Structure 1
Amino acid sequence: MASGRPIHATSLSNHLIPVTNLSPDGFAPFGQVIQNPATHNDLPGLEHVTANQGTATKWLDVTDMTSHYEMSRSQRQARVAVNMFVCQPRKLEERSDGRRIFNVEILERHPFTPQTFVPLGVSKSDEKTCYLIVVAPTLPSRSWDESSERQPPYPTPPSPKRMRSLKELLLGTRPNPFTNNYAPSTTPPPTKTSSALKPKGPGPPDLANLKAFIARGDQAVTYGPGTWHAPMVVLGEKPIEFVVVQHANSVASEDCQEFEIKSDDVVAVDVSSGIMAAESAKAKL
């Protein structure tokens, strides 16, 4: 979570968000879904090789973890951070019509890094424990609340590229003896980068177009850099342990920003239909 004073949302009418099952196509504007391609038909284009003396299938580059901290104002170098979050189940609002509602009170983003959540110990067939993902598009920067005391760290242009020395140019033509760069990279040649894998810019979240997804225990998720999202929401009867991987440079406003939704607005997720859909999807696996 970010430190400092949160940014307040502008006025918004009451908004009830429907829930859908998490899928790579549906989540594509916001990041990437990581799941076993052998048991799903919605991860086209992934390459794979045989590994571990023929006992394993290795799927290559299942998610993108590129750091974009060269765009940050401080220009402070980031490191890879691997943390664990033990997330307790959230309490839901029970409405008179039988709907179970999760009220969204705050969103956050990590402007310069993807963030991957990998759940531990939850079976895909567990119908009593799952997790909820809430994300929002980013509005143009002109929509930013200029009265806020906390301004975003954008935009800072990348530093000019340094000219490579003759030694570096020569070493670049053959395997470097001080590294393990003797085998071809498993990373495929770069193609057109998805907008979800690029930083989103300084704007606030588009609260009118929030999306919500139910994820099973066999699905991990990567939020694209700068994607507005709710803190992790576990649903069901038991906590979920997540291994979380991201970059961080220890500058609070560059590592994480929060956006507080005003108390007189109601932005809520209708969890009931999503849980029913998730249980139906599990039954088909």
Structure 2
Amino acid sequence: MVLETFDGSKIPPIIAKLLTPENFEPFGGVISPEHQVIANDSNANYGTAIKIPKVAPVVNNYKMSQSGSSTTNWNIFRCSRPDHLLTEGRGNWQYTSTVLERHPFTTQTFLPLGKTDEICYLVIVAKSDTKTTLPDPDTIAAFLCRGNQSVTYGVGVWHAPMITIQDRTVDFAVLVHESGIAEEDTQECYYDPGYQVYYRM
């Protein structure tokens, strides 16, 4: 469901930074073992594992929706690099962001399948304006994510569709609650022209 189209030329360039649990906290949660596994975490599996509890939120607020119910679903997204939105020059990359979406009643977790510590995807997020619930342009942020990190978008957090930045497909397991009613499950805002996000590989 499209809510609004904005003039993206009014948004200043966004510089992507490396993802950490701390810098993503305003937008949701991160599963990142290299940041979260520490010596005092509790042992599990009879001493053969370390447990780090509650690293990312899982929230279902569909009881507040018109339908009042949903199912919890695992989906797979096989993502290809959006070459039509990317420009490269001497190792510096520019991505043109043309849409933000949100899920007003649920968190959404993207878990890359296949362990790698290479940077392989880009996340763009924004908070809602407190008066309009549309994306607040002053809060747009971008993060470079490694293949051994997952992100959980908080309930109602605006985000770009998943952006793979490797020249190969990346599969994500996606955990989300859905009612099957389009206007409850996903809301979108467009940017024409898009705004620019810069990153370096």
Contact 1:24 1:43 in 2 (8 A): no
State the Cα RMSD in Å: 2.2
Given the alignment of the two structures, is residue 52 of structure 1 paired with residue 20 of structure 2, yes or no? no
TM-score (norm 1): 0.64
Matched residue, 1:211: 141
2:54 aligns to what SS in structure 1?
A: coil
| Residue 257 of structure 1: aligned partner | 187
Query: Residue 233 of structure 1: which of 148, 163, 172 is its match?
Result: 163
* 1:111 alignment partner, one of 104, 113, 119: 104
Task: Report how far residue 140 of structure 1 moved.
Answer: 2.2
- 1:131 is matched with which residue: 113, 118, 121? 121
Paired with 2:51 and 2:144, the residues of 1 have a C-alpha distance of: 27
For 1:164, the equivalent position in structure 2 comes to none
Deviations 1:158-211 (A, max 9, x none): xxxxxxxxxxxxxxxxxxxxxxxxxxxxxxxxxxxxxxxxxxxxx100123310
- Give distance in 2, aligned partners of 1:18 and 1:61: 29
Residue 212 of structure 1: CA displacement?
0.4
Offset, 1:119:
0.3
For 2:87, the equivalent position in structure 1 comes to 93
Structure 1 residue 74: Cα displacement: 2.8
Q: Give the match's secondary structure for 1:101.
A: strand
Instruction: Determine whether 1:61 maps to 2:63.
Output: no
Distance 1:14 1:52, change over 3 A: closer
Residue matched to 2:70? 78
Paired residues, number: 198
CA distance in 1, matches of 2:136, 2:105: 19
> Do 1:133 and 1:213's aligned partners in 2 also have CA atoms closer than 8 Å?
yes
Tell whether the 8 Å contact from 1:51 to 1:58 is kept in structure 2 after alignment. Answer: yes
Q: Which amino acid aligns with 2:72?
A: V
Q: Residue type of the partner of 1:130? A: C
Which deviations, in whole Å up to 9, do the C-alpha atoms of 1:25-47 show, x marking residues without a partner? Answer: 111100011121xx32x679xx8
CA contact (8 A) 2:112 2:147 kept: yes
Q: Which stretches in structure 2 are left out of the alignment for 5+ residues? A: none
Q: Which has the higher contact order (CA 8 A, sep 6+)?
A: 1
Residue 270 of structure 1: aligned partner: 198
**Deviating 4+ runs (over 4 angstroms):** none
CA contact (8 A) 1:122 1:240 kept: no
| Contact 2:110–2:150 (8 Å) recurs in 1 | yes
Structure with the higher strand share, 1 or 2: 2
